[in-house]
A and B are shown apart, each in its own frame.
Chain A
């Protein structure tokens, strides 16, 4: 079972980001996803910088995948995807159909990111014709749904691509044309001042009863809970999951990686270090306690 560092969802200062990946080069992760997936205005690292970082990390033996935006609105943003593809790095994480088409037109393999909405084996097979090599199921797809899809695929004589499951991190729940960070700080979206740089783990949103609920991360909304599928490793193995995705958080990622690295080599499932993910059990995602 491989470990991956999912794309950095937050906006960190340039030096912090570079330092994070300098460290990550020495972590026991097999795959590193690089690039901006949330907001095209976040440019502490330019496209060129991400590509240079990819070169560096590839040299340290990691498989590098360049991730694209989940919501592409402008032609300039399509242009970035074309550049990532043209760089010839290998794989692209396609988080929307624009990236799928760019990869398809240029014959470049891609990873279907969790926002691509692949819910059944036929859709997966169609995308495999287009160059899909690895599939990250959407956040709401848990054990039963993935298992059902896999069985349907095999029953029809198809082969599954690699499957990568979000094993650790805050779940990306939704995307908008609105920047919720800008709205919360009452600044216009076009003059946001890149204030989300002040919230390296997102901006907490609680109910009117003070119950922590969601995280605001620019145009993205995440669940508050840092979900952890570590204890579910036996189920993941039984499902033939190939890659465990760990989303970068601001603190303690080296320890998180070490924890999962140990777990993947151990016959015993590890203790839970985050929250239970209800989705995995076919329940509401935020259901952290067993039903």
Chain B
């Protein structure tokens, strides 16, 4: 067992414990009596200023991507050059925090070498883990850089103990990020049966479809989140202002939505547009809203969730600072006095201010969601 400093407190590295347990054939890694384990706060960083802001606001780890299609937020103007990544890792490590590199898209055969090179880069630059979904990428990482931790990306859509077991036995993953499709009861149950510690989404834009299994953007534009790392690429988005002040937005000529002059409009994705079903026009798939699980924090902690993930590498420094700070405060107060904890209105206000459409939901964690 090793102890690793996270700046605020020493915690034990549960991952190593799990690997040792699984090597001895004991899959019930959660039998750990490690009372020191606390939930890690994993925050997004679309660029170096965001990374520094996340660290300053109390992130235990940040996740980042390279400036190409190897990660699922391959938007222009986002992500890290090699030099920035090196700087970011140095900054994080100087503060006792971690950097995870997302390599969570799906390379086709011709481009596989590019993903392999990205894995090598992560190892050379000293990333604490890669976050990957694709079998060949995980396989390459496990064989070439076995000492670098491999976290299973949400893009892998692993929702069950057998799926997690597959990735653990095959590629030695030491953590898995759960897709945003499970109810809180299902998350709790999976914590009991998973061979690896689990990370869940705590806050941020809600991906309505099973991650890694959505071809809506691809169907319309030909560019796919899985292959190109982008949903609704900006070059296919067209806003039209009408004389009466209304606006309409198209994705590759498909009308996604129309807005009244005073109506706020978010980034246009197919799943958050308004369409006609049975003669009624409404958000047929999902309203613009963000996931917010703050009120579930005690249940997630008791279930043994290893890490909470904040979504939003495409968001700015103000978002990263405010959201990280809020969750840090919530987590610290929970840790100090779990029984006295309750979700404070000020936290919820701060989070709602940064939510899509200024509204939040418990999403699939809640059975009533439909």
Contact = CB atoms under 8 A, between A and B. Distances in A.
Given A74-B186, A140-B227, A173-B216, A180 B284 contact: yes
B345 interface: no
Contacts of A209: 255
B106 interface: yes
Given A120-B107, A149-B108, A104 B166 contact: yes
B108 A148 contact: yes
B181 A208 contact: no
A97 B210 CA distance: 13
Contacts of B163: 72, 96-98, 100-101
Contacts of A73: 159-160, 181-183, 186
Nearest to B186: A73
A115 B155 CA distance: 12
Contacts of A216: 277, 284
Contacts of A287: 222
Interface string B272-289: 001111100100111000
A119 to B, nearest CB: 4
Interface in B164-205: 165-167, 170, 180-183, 186, 189, 193
Given A73-B159, A178-B364, A173 B181 contact: no
A127 interface: yes
B286 A96 contact: no
A177 B182 contact: yes
Band of interface residues on A: 35 or more
Interface in A166-213: 171, 173-180, 182-184, 187-190, 203-211, 213
Contacts of B276: 205-208, 210
A221 B273 CA distance: 14
A85 to B, nearest CB: 11
Contacts of B271: 174
Contacts of A174: 209-210, 213-216, 271
B109 A148 contact: yes
Nearest to A122: B136
Given A117-B134, A173-B214, A179 B106 contact: no
A184 B278 contact: yes
Contacts of B257: 208
Given A207-B255, A208-B276, A284-B218, A149 B109 contact: yes
B284 A184 contact: yes
A189 B369 contact: yes
B156 interface: yes
Contact of B109 (A121, A140, A177, A190): A121
B261 interface: no
Contacts of B277: 184, 203-206, 216
A126 B258 contact: no
- Grouping DSSP codes into helix (H, G, I), strand (E, B) and loop, the B interface class, with mixed when no group exceeds half, is mixed
B139 interface: yes
Contacts of A71: 157, 159, 181, 210, 213
Contacts of A182: 370
A263 interface: no
Interface residues of B, number: 68
A73 B170 CA distance: 22
A109 interface: no
A210 B189 CA distance: 44
A226 interface: no
Interface in A239-291: 278, 282-287
A78 interface: yes
Given A101-B165, A207-B254, A208-B255, A221 B135 contact: no
Interface string A89-120: 00000001111111011000000000101111
A120 B227 CA distance: 11
Contacts of A101: 162-163, 165-166
Contacts of A140: 215, 218-219, 224, 226-227
Interface of A: 70-75, 77-78, 81, 96-102, 104-105, 115, 117-123, 126-127, 138-141, 145, 148-149, 151-153, 171, 173-180, 182-184, 187-190, 203-211, 213-214, 216, 221, 223, 278, 282-287
Interface of B: 106-110, 112, 133-136, 139-140, 156-163, 165-167, 170, 180-183, 186, 189, 193, 208-210, 212-216, 218-222, 224, 226-227, 252, 254-258, 271, 274-278, 281, 284-286, 364, 367-370
Closest 10 CB pairs of A and B: A122-B136, A177-B181, A189-B370, A152-B109, A97-B163, A101-B162, A101-B166, A284-B222, A177-B364, A123-B135
14 contacts: A72-B163, A99-B162, A101-B166, A115-B213, A119-B108, A119-B226, A122-B109, A127-B135, A149-B108, A174-B209, A175-B210, A177-B210, A208-B276, A209-B255
